[in-house]
Amino acid sequence: MRTEGGIPPHDGMSAGPRKRFVKKRRPVSAADLAKEIRTGSRLALAKGITLLESRSPEDRKDSQELLLGLLPDSGNSVRIGITGVPGAGKSTFIESFGLMLAEAGHKVAVLAIDPSSTVTGGSILGDKTRMEELSRHPNAFIRPSPSSGTLGGVHRKTRETMLLCEAAGYDVILIETVGVGQSETAVRGMADFFLLLVLTGAGDELQGVKKGIMELADGIIVHKADGDNVTPAKRTAREYKQFLRMLQPATPGWQTTVHPVSSFAGTGLEDVWETILGFRDSMSVSGEWDKRRREQLKAWFRQSIEDRLIESFYASEGRKNEVERLEGKILDGRLTVTAAVEELFRG
Amino acid sequence: MRTEGGIPPHDGMSAGPRKRFVKKRRPVSAADLAKEIRTGSRLALAKGITLLESRSPEDRKDSQELLLGLLPDSGNSVRIGITGVPGAGKSTFIESFGLMLAEAGHKVAVLAIDPSSTVTGGSILGDKTRMEELSRHPNAFIRPSPSSGTLGGVHRKTRETMLLCEAAGYDVILIETVGVGQSETAVRGMADFFLLLVLTGAGDELQGVKKGIMELADGIIVHKADGDNVTPAKRTAREYKQFLRMLQPATPGWQTTVHPVSSFAGTGLEDVWETILGFRDSMSVSGEWDKRRREQLKAWFRQSIEDRLIESFYASEGRKNEVERLEGKILDGRLTVTAAVEELFRG
What is the band of A21 on the pLDDT scale with cuts at 50, 70, 90?
very low
Smallest Cα distance from B110 to chain A, Å: 22
* Residue in A with minimal Cα distance to B62: A339
Task: Provide, as residue numbers in chain B, all residues whose Cβ is less than 8 Å from the Cβ of A153.
Answer: none
Residue A16 has pLDDT above 50, yes or no: no
Of B246, B308, B309, which to mutate for an interface test with A (greatest number of A Cβ within 10 Å)? B246
Residue in B72, B300, B309 nearest the CB of A337: B300
Q: What is the pLDDT of residue B246?
A: 79
| A16 against B57, higher pLDDT | B57
* Pairwise CB contact (< 8 Å): A297 & B337: yes
Task: Provide, as residue numbers in chain B, all residues whose Cβ is less than 8 Å from the Cβ of A326.
Answer: 301
pTM here is: 0.82
Segment A69-120, tens digit of pLDDT = 999 999 999 999 999 988 899 999 999 999 999 999 999 999 987 665 444 4
Percentage of chain A lying above the pLDDT 90 cut: 66
pLDDT values of chain B reduced to their tens digit, one per residue, 347 residues: 333 333 333 433 333 344 444 445 455 799 999 999 999 999 999 999 999 988 898 998 999 999 999 999 999 999 999 999 888 999 999 999 999 999 999 999 999 876 654 444 344 444 445 788 999 999 999 987 765 566 667 788 899 999 999 999 999 999 998 766 678 888 999 999 999 999 987 554 566 677 778 889 999 999 999 999 999 999 999 988 988 887 888 999 999 999 999 999 999 999 999 999 999 999 999 999 999 999 999 999 999 999 999 989 999 899 999 999 999 999 999 999 999 999 999 86
Helices (H), B168-268: 183-188, 230-245
Task: Provide, as residue numbers in chain A, all residues whose Cβ is less than 8 Å from the Cβ of B345.
Answer: 308, 312
Residue in A64, A298, A308 nearest the CB of B339: A64
Smallest Cα distance from A134 to chain B, Å: 31
Task: Provide, as residue numbers in chain B, all residues whose Cβ is less than 8 Å from the Cβ of A67.
Answer: 336, 338-339
Range from A121-130, A159-168, B174-183, B307-316 that averages highest in pLDDT: A159-168
Residue in B206, B209, B327 nearest the CB of A301: B327
**Phi and psi of A77, rounded to 5°?**
-145, 170
Q: Give the 3-state secondary structure of residue B288.
A: helix
Smallest Cα distance from B132 to chain A, Å: 33
Contact A176, A108 (CB under 8 A): no
* Pairwise CB contact (< 8 Å): A336 & B248: no
In 3D space, the residue among B98, B65, B282 whose CA is nearest the CA of residue B172 turns out to be: B98
Beta bridge partners, A112, equal: A176
Q: How far apart are the first and last CA of chain A?
A: 31
As a whole number of Å, the CA-based R_g of chain B is: 22
Taking CA atoms, B116 is separated from B10, B180, B181, in Å, by: 19, 6, 8
Task: Provide, as residue numbers in chain B, all residues whose Cβ is less than 8 Å from the Cβ of A335.
Answer: 68
Q: What is the pLDDT of residue B12?
A: 35
Displacement of CA B212 from its chain's centroid (Å): 18
Q: What is the pLDDT of residue A247?
A: 81
Residue A239 has pLDDT above 90, yes or no: no
Helix pair angle (B317-331, B288-314), 10° resolution: 90
Task: Provide, as residue numbers in chain A, all residues whose Cβ is less than 8 Å from the Cβ of B331.
Answer: 294, 297-298
* Pairwise CB contact (< 8 Å): A68 & B294: no
Q: What is the pLDDT of residue A232?
A: 92
| A42 against A243, higher pLDDT | A42
CA distance B164 to B44: 10
Helices (H), chain B: 12-25, 30-38, 42-53, 57-70, 90-103, 117-120, 132-136, 151-167, 183-188, 230-245, 269-286, 288-314, 317-331, 337-346
CA distance B135 to B168: 17
Task: Provide, as residue numbers in chain A, all residues whose Cβ is less than 8 Å from the Cβ of B159.
Answer: 337
Q: What is the pLDDT of residue B179?
A: 63
Contact A304, B341 (CB under 8 A): yes
Smallest Cα distance from A27 to chain B, Å: 22
Segment A200-214, tens digit of pLDDT = 875 545 666 777 788
Of B184, B214, B305, B327, which to mutate for an interface test with A (greatest number of A Cβ within 10 Å)? B305
Least confident of A32-46, A84-98, A145-159, A290-304: A145-159
Long-range contacts of A27-36 (CB under 8 A, 24+ apart): A30/A62, A30/A63, A30/A65, A30/A66, A30/A69, A31/A65, A31/A69, A33/A66, A34/A66, A34/A69, A34/A70, A34/A167
Q: What is the pLDDT of residue B205?
A: 55
Alpha carbons within 13 angstroms on the beta-carbon side of residue B306 total 14
In 3D space, the residue among B202, B156, B192, B166 whose CA is nearest the CA of residue B311 turns out to be: B156
Neighbours of B26 (CB within 10 A): 11
- The whole-chain average pLDDT of chain A stands at 85
Q: A218: burial class by Cβ within 10 Å (0-12, 13-18, 19+)?
A: buried
Average confidence (pLDDT) over A247-254: 88
Residue in A297, A312, A331 nearest the CB of B330: A297
Q: What is the pLDDT of residue A85?
A: 86
Q: What is the pLDDT of residue A116?
A: 56
Beta bridge partners, B222, equal: B198, B260
Q: What is the ipTM of this complex?
A: 0.84
Task: Provide, as residue numbers in chain A, all residues whose Cβ is less than 8 Å from the Cβ of B308.
Answer: 341, 345
CA distance B173 to B80: 6
* Pairwise CB contact (< 8 Å): A301 & B340: yes
Residue in A202, A301, A345 nearest the CB of B337: A301
Alpha carbons within 13 angstroms on the beta-carbon side of residue A21 total 8
Task: Provide, as residue numbers in chain B, all residues whose Cβ is less than 8 Å from the Cβ of A246.
Answer: 202, 204-206, 243
Left, alpha or beta for A195 (phi > 0: left; psi -120 to 50: alpha)?
beta
* Residue in A with minimal Cα distance to B334: A68
Q: What is the pLDDT of residue B181?
A: 64
Task: Provide, as residue numbers in chain A, all residues whose Cβ is less than 8 Å from the Cβ of B342.
Answer: 60, 64
Of A290, A341, A343, A345, which to mutate for an interface test with B (greatest number of B Cβ within 10 Å)? A341
Residue A25 has pLDDT above 70, yes or no: no
